[in-house]
Amino acid sequence: MTMSLDTRLDDMQGMIRREPAVAGHRWALFQLLCVTEQWERAIQQLQVFAQLNPQQAQAAQAYRELIRAERWRAKVMSGLAQPGFVVDPPSWIESLAEALRLTAAGQAGVADTVREAALDQAPLVSGSGAARSFEWIADSDSRLGPVCEVITAGRYRWLPFSDIAGWEIGRPATLVDLVWAPCSLTLVDGTKARGFMPARFPAVTGAVHDCAALDALRLGNTTVWTESGRTGVIAQGRKTWATSSGDVGVFELDVCAFSDDANRVLADSIAGSATQGDGGMDGTA
């Protein structure tokens, strides 16, 4: 029987009480705290880990920035903050952000109208990857839709799919990779961008009370969707793309080339590698 995340947390905390100077224990607890979104405690363990293992100070700083970006992301999705952008945003992407702010202000009907108009304006982007091709792709959470979330240079940013020529997403090797997946993106102008892609949707506080179901969402083993208003489809759990050929998880589409009219030539140069992935995703820690 698989141990719950709470049990694993308790066990690791017990190990730290017995062996407080073992850096590996601190790193393991840090990862569990990230998965369970206990950000303040995660930062504390990260600081101790870096003190015990000074050669990992740079990595510790990178993860501090990821936590800061993740907390900003939660504010953005709650309509309380503005996302950063990788490129100058088109008007429709600003309208999607405005819809979040309107929802937070209690103007759900107006938010639906603004979001509908934004989704109508956004271009469709086709592509292919890992034994799958599609005529269009979008985030399965309609609050994002034609927007790809990325964290680059320590900041949470939005990037239209229409500005991406291709990407490579690292498959999970550690528990924390189920929270932030390392990625490399090629933009339509040839620019390379390295960073991380959120591998889960922001949690909805209090929405799930069953321990096993909550763990499945936290570990990205499943995705659930809740409708809100006329245009809102709010996702929890594993980051999942909606495509014309069906839903696909973030790690299943780990190598992808996009091929709308604006970037077809550049995407062709990436497409060869897009068929090499095996498409699997077990979502386990």
Q: What is the CATH number of the domain that holds 12?
A: 1.25.40.10
Q: What is the mean pLDDT of residues 7-19?
A: 98
Whether residue 257 is found in the same domain as residue 170: yes
pLDDT on residue 1: 63
Residue ending a domain, among 75, 91, 113, is 75
Whether residue 228 is found in the same domain as residue 163: yes
pLDDT on residue 275: 40
Residues 227-257: pLDDT tens digits? 999 999 999 999 999 999 999 999 999 999 9
Distance (Å, whole) CA 175 – CA 245:
29
Confidence class of residue 207 from pLDDT cuts 50, 70 and 90? low
- Number of separate domains in the chain: 2
pLDDT on residue 218: 96
> String of b and e for 48-73 (b: at least 16 CB within 10 Å)?
bbbebbeebeeebeebbebbbbbebb
pLDDT at 282 over 50: no
pLDDT at 224 over 80: yes
Higher per-residue confidence, 281 vs 97 = 97
Assess if residue 30 is contained within a domain: yes
Range of the domain at 24: 5-75
Rg (CA), the chain: 19
Going 240 to 246 to 252 to 258, the CA torsion angle's sign is negative
Residue ending a domain, among 35, 57, 75, is 75
